[in-house]
Amino acid sequence: MMSNPEHGLPFLPGTSFTDSTKTAFHRSQTLNYRHGYAMARRPTVGIGGDRLQVNQLSQADLDELANKAPLLTYGEPKPAAPPNFIPAHVAFDKKVLRFDAYFQEDVSMSTEEHYRIRQVNIYYFLEDDSMSVMEPTVENSGILQGKLIKRQRLPKNDRGDHYHWKDLNRGINITIYGKTFHIVECDRFTQEFLESQGIELNPPEKMALDPYTELRKQPLHQYVTPSDFDQLKQFLTFDKQVLRFYAIWDDTDSMFGECRNYIIHYYLMDDTVEIREVHERNNGRDPFPLLMNRQRMPKVLVANAENFPQCVLEISDQEVSEWYTAKDFIVGKPLTILGRTFFIYDCDPFTRRYYKEKFGISDLPRIDVGKKEPPRIKQELPPYNGFGPVEDSAQNCFALVPKAPKKDVIKMLMNDNKVLRYLASLESPYPEDKDRRFVFSYFLATDMISIFEPPVRNSGIIGGKFLGRTKVVKPHSSVENPVYYGPSDFFIGAVIEVFGHRFIIRDTDNYVLKYMESNAAQYSPEALLSIQNHIRKREAPAPELENKQTEVDPSVQELETLIDMIQKQLKDHPCRDNILEAFQVYDKEASGFVDKEDFFKICDSLNVPVDDSLIKEVSMSYSSRRLRG
């Protein structure tokens, strides 16, 4: 039966009392030495010198006693001695991990290569975790090779970490001092070490090769068994025997190209080819006799001979796998020699016999390569725009710099100063146009027409030049083939249409009748008869002279109008008094008239501007007045 614990005062400040009999408060000593060995001793006295009732054990001792299972009858076996300590520089001495890698270097100053592949070896020293990068030395490489990075601990990042062997593996990229190395393989020791440490290695890769280095490698020497062909026998047998072919080179597809003729000679004695140019007179080319000198022509080059400098070095059998022979020259087939494609269209008789005897070809054709001239394209003139004569406008289509149309010089010389004059009226629905009269002048030298309207006082119409000299096209004529008015179209009663105006011929002078009688073949009998009847009526005397004196002759009125116009032109002339004196000198009979030739002499001597058409109209009106009078 357990006794109840004694209840005392709570352990609080003011309620606890110190025992004055207790003076030692240290812990008991639990370590003791016996015969030089340290031995543990259980404490028997507590703090303050109170004797412990029970020899208490630690929790670790209690756990050990609870779980202890004796194995041997006579106690536990003695533990083995701990292994000896081995430092890292001793354990990993001369143990190095080796990796094969490469990096790419840019080449900016070369046209043959743009980058370079450099192969290196990366070494990792296990004793101190240092690394080095070595590049195998290549003889005559021109590159500083060997030790690229000396042995040291290489920084991994900017935080101060360094590369460890756990960071290295196949097929990864590592960056060392700005250069990226790609690891492709490692040696057997490195593979076994990493696998023993539990690292799974990536599959190995193939080492990258430098393209320029592979290009510069010399091909392996190929031994060719010499043939049993006897070149001396060929030389003696075919000496002075040449095959002649006629060919053309058509270069018309290129700019300024043309089709040129050549003669190809094939020498049977040494299988050489010669190409000669065929020159023509005045072809504008220098008379060089040869396009290609006599030489052997390669047909197929070897695979690596495209970059061979043919312009400075001769091609040998090592660069050519097949040469041109006589069987490659066939009439009717194209042939490419040195980049030019020749078409063989014929050969000489000796060549035909050789091909018949050697190759059994007896029907070599003769091909006509002459180009037929294309049909001439008919020039079609554009539509007439209505400006200027048709002949003059058409000259713009014949040349870049248009020239004046050719004139009939003989016609101009024979009909110089020959003018046919007609008096016409205007056919118009307006009543004010009924009394208007026009003088037509037809110039026989140029087939041109001019129209003059004599001014009439108080008529309200300004007279003068109605139409300058020009050719007038007949109505209903085509623009491409215009038909102009001729002398046969002018007769009494004829209707002349000039640019939309219709005129009716009313009268003519005596010169027109004389011209028509001398050139009766140009006129119809009706036109000639109309002029003759009109002249007879005009020359016949009037039955009543009284009416003649009282009525005003229209020709007199026209003559006076023309004279007034001339007077107005000469009124403001500075040499007016001299003009009057000159006319008085030539008018010796004081009749008030001078001859036409004298009139022009006076005007030329005094520099008086004279309208030729106006003076001619005055002369015609005066002549008409005299006929009527």
Span 213-228, pLDDT tens digits: 888 776 766 677 777 7
Does the pLDDT at position 58 exceed 60? yes
Residue 321 belongs to some domain of the structure = yes
With H, G, I as helix, E, B as strand and everything else as coil, classify residue 30. Answer: coil
Does the pLDDT at position 140 exceed 80? yes
pLDDT of residue 545: 42
User: What are the residues facing 343 on neighbouring strands?
Assistant: 248, 334
Q: Are residues 160 and 257 in the same domain?
A: no
Of 329, 359, 389, the last residue of a domain is: 359
Q: Are residues 351 and 261 in the same domain?
A: yes
What percentage of residues in the chain have a pLDDT greater than 90?
A: 27
Q: Are residues 573 and 527 in the same domain?
A: no
Q: Are residues 204 and 101 in the same domain?
A: yes
Residue 500 belongs to some domain of the structure = yes
Of 359, 394, 415, the last residue of a domain is: 359
Report the run of H or E that residue 89 belongs to, with start and end: helix 88-91
pLDDT of residue 552: 45
Q: State the residue range of the domain holding 297.
A: 231-359
CA gap 508, 522 in Å, rounded: 17
Which has the minimum average pLDDT: 59-63, 149-153, 358-362, 396-400? 59-63
Q: Are residues 292 and 257 in the same domain?
A: yes
Which has the minimum average pLDDT: 63-67, 73-77, 316-320, 356-360? 73-77
Q: Going along 278-411, which residue ranges are E strands?
A: 290-295, 298-301, 320-323, 334-337, 340-347
Q: Are residues 146 and 259 in the same domain?
A: no
Count of other CB atoms within 10 angstroms of residue 178 = 5
Residue 476 belongs to some domain of the structure = yes
Residue 1 belongs to some domain of the structure = no
Does the pLDDT at position 3 exceed 50? no
CA gap 312, 333 in Å, rounded: 31
Count of other CB atoms within 10 angstroms of residue 301 = 15
- Average pLDDT rounded to a whole number, residues 537-541: 67
Of 188, 215, 242, the last residue of a domain is: 215
Q: Are residues 407 and 532 in the same domain?
A: yes
Residue 602 belongs to some domain of the structure = yes
Q: Are residues 271 and 344 in the same domain?
A: yes
User: In total, how many domains does the chain have?
Assistant: 4
Amino acid, res. 425? S
pLDDT of residue 593: 67
Amino acid, res. 482? P
Residue bearing the bigger pLDDT, 603 or 240: 240
* Residue 46's pLDDT band (cuts 50, 70, 90): confident
Report the CATH number at residue 124: 2.30.29.170
How far lies 550's CA from each of 393, 545, 558, in Å?
55, 9, 17
For the chain, give me the number of helices (H) and strands (E)? 15, 22
CA gap 293, 91 in Å, rounded: 79
Q: Are residues 285 and 331 in the same domain?
A: yes
CA gap 468, 171 in Å, rounded: 101
Amino acid, res. 590? A
CA gap 121, 96 in Å, rounded: 12
Maximum mean pLDDT: which of 48-62, 250-264, 474-488, 529-543: 250-264
Span 164-184, pLDDT tens digits: 999 999 999 999 999 999 999
Residue 138 belongs to some domain of the structure = yes
pLDDT of residue 85: 82
Q: Are residues 528 and 573 in the same domain?
A: no
Tell me the H-state helices in 293-363: 349-358
Q: Are residues 316 and 407 in the same domain?
A: no
Residue 40 belongs to some domain of the structure = no
Maximum mean pLDDT: which of 168-177, 314-323, 603-612: 168-177
How far lies 347's CA from each of 148, 352, 366, 419, 562, in Å?
70, 7, 8, 74, 90
pLDDT of residue 101: 96
Task: Show Cβ contacts of residue 369 under 8 Å, excluding neighbours closer than 6 positions.
Answer: 248, 343, 345
- Average pLDDT rounded to a whole number, residues 396-425: 87
Does the pLDDT at position 278 exceed 50? yes
pLDDT mean across residues, the chain: 81
Q: Are residues 514 and 615 in the same domain?
A: no
Residue 273 belongs to some domain of the structure = yes
